[in-house]
Structure formats: structure tokens, C-alpha cells
Chain A
């Protein structure tokens, strides 16, 4: 199988004109540690891409580069055909790239609708237009199929899946065109995960948003994504449509990597 050869699969990735995002030859080092080596990745409009990889494969480094948190050492990021330099998280967000972390950006003490509108509040100066925010948040969540008891409850009272859904809804609502979902299914129960996957499926049907799901548990994400990229030791080693691969194949790849590393260590010891 050619996929185990570094970057072979990635280099073969057919980049198209319709791509909303292309990552070209991106590398990143932290001192002596090489986090990413010549990473190539592309994302079409409305596409859902699963970026898989075991812990330490470089997923979070790539995520941080894509959301503007840190710049790559080399390589370029092309957004809608134009090369961009992401100066900050805010800048990336302005350009329509938004990362959704598991919980990070929700304020437990605030209501769902205040969280949805945080820092983009509707205001009739000097007062908050709570009624308008409440109504629109409700409509928006309903349209997205997010099921919560009420937009008035504090997010602290919601379940993990509901919180995640609200974080996603907020990003979509703030005109994000490219969503980076960081481990959206980690620590989720089966039904919670189903809720998030349904949400991704709905967004896919609407076709406005392109999504990169970053995960290490590929069984569940394979159901919703169009394409799978596998990140191993800082390189994209695998790029296939999800209909052309399987959980077994992916598992074999990761296990093979583990075995090879183990053997190498035995040999050197």
C-alpha cells in the first residue's frame, strides 16, 4: 500500500478550483520537535473532511495554524483561491474560519441566548435587546435542529452534547464558512454523539458550511464525512473518500504504524 509512504497520498490529492481552503506544504517545528512536515490538505465547499490521527500526530498543531492561533514555519494557506496570512484568531474568524472547542468558549453562568450572541449582542443603546436575541436564538437553534429545553437556561445546566451544539450553532450563526470541530465527540455518550453527528449532517445538507472534524475516534465520524485524511507523525499519509475506506482499513494503518515504531525501538535497543 502506497499510503504508508510519507506524503504520497497527500501530494496526490487533487486540488480543485472549487476548494474553499487549501493548505499547501505547511511545516511547523517546535525546537527540536517536528510537529508538521509538508502538510497538504484541501476542502471543497460544503464538504465534511475528517482529519484523523492518533494522539501526538500533529492534529492540534494543524488546528492552531488553521484557526490563526499560530503561523506555520513554511507553506501557505489558500482561502477561496487567495493566499492568506492568518494574523490572529480574530482575523481568521473575520475571514470565516472558526474553531469550535469542546467547551472553551461557553460561559456557564450565562443563558444560552447570551452565549449565542456573546460579543455580538444586539443592542438598543445602551441596553441589550434581550427579547430580540432570545427570539432569534430560539428560531436559529430550531432551524438547526438543536434541541434544548429553553434558550433562557444557563449553559451550565445543559449536557455536553447540547453545549457543543450551541457552540457549533454560534459559529455557524456568526457567518463562519469553515468550521473546525475539535474532537467534537470526545467524552460524549452515544446519544450525545448522535446529536452532534446529526447536526453536522444537517449542515452538510444545507451546503453553506465546510467542516473539518478533528478526531481520533474514526468509527463515528466516518458516517458523516465525505473524505478522510489521516495524519501520522506530522504528515498526511492517507486521503480517500469515506465511501472508499473503512474503519478496518484505518485501524490497520494506525496499528501498523504503532507496530513499526515498536519494532524500530526494539531494533535500536
Chain B
């Protein structure tokens, strides 16, 4: 270690030689990295592959289904998971906020006569409340977030199944016009869900890379003690990101219900959550905290959606799909770990 140190001080030549390059790299900001370029290429290659396999793949109805139907929910959940993973936590319950939120809206409108907008607001508030509870159990009571959110998620699942008798219902008639705004297949704008997802990506990319909140989120996950030493309120950051993540779950839940024009108790769940986490990981987010990007997760979600949709449309059995998804996760993680190792080695050499 000491030798290293000597060398780099002793030998400023190559370091300062690399300086202009570093400047150029930084013009794009911290967010744009080689890693994202790689996933982007993978996504494009997959799109090209499936386009050559099936002429229907690039048709508008398929592309909108790929982006709005399949990718958008993954993207929105991934946003929340990226923020949480960066600050060193995870939310397994988000998929159950996803299923519960639209049922809550349905109960309020159809059983209690609440107007549509307040009902939607309350359903979104559910996300914030669940996120707060996750924060309380994890930060204040000190449970590992894996366990916290496993518990709260199952409770939400049980509540939803009990109150709904596990039966799907239609989106309340009163909410149908709002539903079109969210891209209902029943006459809504087909790109709508994807556009929402892109707007959220843009907002949270900026939050993560250009605001104190983002900086403190990275600091919290990168060096918990150091962040606390600097006076950052770790609790505030973690509570906040739990609440953002669960809110994303509620948004996705409502949006999916509107998109499908039905409220389905089998929607969301662990599958939706894991797809979000998978997209984040493929996009270069480290499970140990401190690094990750929203853009990367967005591209990761596109890759997952392309695989899912591509398998369906090319008529290949969907059964082997998970082999590819699993492989993609492992390859992404291996790349993460190796990259980190090489960086560490670069420092120690």
C-alpha cells in the first residue's frame, strides 16, 4: 500500500497526462459511463436480432406493448430500487404495494363513494406510508431491510387477498377517463405508460446526479460512517428513499391497472419486484451500495423487456426465457465485481 502511494506521488506524469481525458469524460457528467454504453449496445443487438427473426417485432403494436406494457413497470420499479440499493438497502415489498394500491383505489371509489382524484391520491399515499414503515423498521428499529420488506410485503399481500377475495375486478367506471391518460388499452394513448416512465427516469436521474439528495444517497451507501461523520442525516436519506421506492410501486400498480383495464390480484408481487432489481443490477447498480445509475437501470429494463417480448413474438416457447434473464443477471454481476476488482487492483498496484 505504501509503495503504491509513493509511486503515484512520485510519478505524476501519466496522471496529469490523463487529466484532459478525465475532463472530457466528465463533461457528460457522472451519469454517463462506459457501463451504460455497453448495455445500450446489448439492447440494440437484441432489438436487431428479434427484428430479423419476426417481421411483426418492429410493428407499432408490438413496440408499444414492449415499451408501455412490459418495460414501463420494470423501469419505474427499478428507479426506486436503484435509489435504495445505492444507499445500501433493498425493498422486496414494492411489488405488493403495486397490487394493493389499485385495489385500495377501487375500494374507495366503489365501496365508499370517494371521488376519483382523492382515491388515487390516497392509493399513492399508501406507497408513502408503506415506505415510511419500511424505513421505521429498518432505520429506527435496526432490522435488515431484506427482512423488513419481506414482512411488510407479505402483510400487504395477505391484506389484498383477504379484502379482494383474490378476485380480479374492473377498473372503476368513474376512473376510466383518467385511465386513458395513463394509456389504457381501452382507447388510451398507447405510448402513454412508457412516456410516464421516461419522465420519471429523467426526474430521478437529475435527482440522483444533480441534487444534494442524490449526492447524500451515494455518500450514505458508499461510506455510512463517513457520511454520518460529515453530518448527513442517514435516517432521513434512507426513510426518504424507502418512501420514494414504495411510491413508485403505487404508481406502477395504478398505471398497470389502467393499462390492462383490470385490477388483478396476481399482478405485481415478487416477480415485478425482482425484475426491477434485475434491471438495476444489469444496469450496473452495486448491491453493496454507493454506486448505480437510473439510466443504466432504464437500459437494463429495456433489455429485460426485449427478451420477454421477443421470445413471445418469435413464437419460441417462453419457458427458456428465465435462463436468459438469469444468465444476464449473472453476467452483469460478474462484470460489476470484476470492474470493482480491477479498480481496486489499479489502486493497489
Contacts and interface: CB of A to CB of B under 8 A. Distances in A.
Interface of A: 89-90, 93, 101, 103-111, 114, 118-119, 121, 123, 126-128, 130, 147, 149-150, 152-153, 156-162, 187-192, 195
A192 B229 contact: no
Contact of A108 (B12, B16, B216, B223): B223
B6 A190 contact: yes
Contact of A161 (B9, B211, B215, B230): B9
B16 A149 contact: yes
A200 B206 CA distance: 39
Nearest to B9: A191
Contact of A119 (B12, B30, B231, B343): B231
Chain A facing B: main interface SS: loop
B210 A107 contact: no
A128 B8 CA distance: 31
Contact of B226 (A104, A126, A149): A104
Contact of A104 (B2, B10, B225): B225
Find the residue from B2, B10, B18 having the highest chain A CB count within 10 A. Answer: B2
A101 B19 CA distance: 28
B225 to A, nearest CB: 6
Contact of A189 (B3, B16, B215, B231): B3
Nearest to A111: B30
Find the residue from A126, A189, A195 having the highest chain B CB count within 10 A. Answer: A189
Contacts of A89: 229
B211 A128 contact: yes
B1 interface: yes
5 contacts: A90-B231, A109-B291, A128-B215, A157-B346, A189-B6
Interface of B: 1-6, 8-10, 12, 15-16, 18-19, 22-23, 26, 30, 206, 210-212, 215-216, 218-219, 222-223, 225-227, 229-232, 290-291, 343, 346-347
Contacts of A150: 19, 22-23
A219 to B, nearest CB: 16
A188 B2 contact: yes
The 5 closest A-B pairs by CB, nearest first: A189-B2, A159-B5, A189-B6, A105-B229, A149-B15
B124 to A, nearest CB: 21
A106 B216 contact: no
Contacts of A128: 210-212, 215
Contacts of A153: 22
Given A104-B223, A107-B223, A150-B22, 16 more contacts: A103-B226, A105-B229, A107-B219, A109-B218, A110-B218, A118-B215, A118-B232, A121-B212, A128-B212, A147-B9, A159-B8, A159-B9, A161-B5, A189-B2, A189-B6, A190-B6
Contacts of B346: 157
Given A123-B212, A128-B211, A128-B212, A110 B222 contact: yes
A57 B225 CA distance: 25
A114 B215 contact: yes
Contacts of B347: 156-157
